[in-house]
Amino acid sequence: MLTSLKSKLKRIVSNYMGSLNSRLLSEDIHIKKASIKGNVNLEFGVKIVGGVKISGNVSIGKLSVINGPNTDIYSKINSVQIGRFCSIARNVSIQEYHHKMDRISTYFMSKNIFNNSIESDIVSKGDIIIGNDVWIGTHCVILSGAHISNGVIVAANSVVSGYIPPYAIVAGSPAKVIKYRFDTAIIQKINDLAWWDWDVEKIQQNEELFLSTLTEDILNKYLLRY
């Protein structure tokens, strides 16, 4: 099974553009029809497909999948950090900076009129941090300073600009918590287990945990085991 998985994750680079920092590029990465440039760090098994654009200081964790078309991940001042086992749909915008609003114009005057750097035209509220096992639906916008915790589901057409607690399901503009995937005790135990740090072999040895409807009894069994 492991051999088959590794075969499927064999690195493919098609229509590749930009200057990816090869020292930070892991093996078994699938990149197809993507534009990537800057200080981009991709862990094992990452898939970036279908017209995704990535630029700046960006890290993407193990086995996360970024789908296009029209999905953009941009940073210029601070970083964008995406955890492991994340699923990001098409038509998603993740941008760590935005226009300055305290000048006479929000237009990029420095860059387009005075032929200077764009850095003086933009401002950031901080890093964008996306935890592990996060699912971001189509047509979402993730703004500067957003912190999306482990296990969050961001419903389609949502705008996230602040902190989202672990295992929340959020929707709307601005995104608000609709419900939680699990109760507080289970959420704490999942975070304690931190299964996203396991290697693929260990995950494959624990099929019940990943393919069964999750209960506290199942979690307790694996917490005792590990």
Q: What CA–CA distance (Å, rounded) separates 129 from 86?
A: 12
Taking a C-beta distance cutoff of 8 angstroms, is the pair 161, 141 a contact? no
Catalytic residues: 99
61: Cβ contacts below 8 Å, ≥ 6 apart: 43, 46, 82, 83, 84, 85, 86, 132, 196
Taking a C-beta distance cutoff of 8 angstroms, is the pair 184, 164 a contact? no
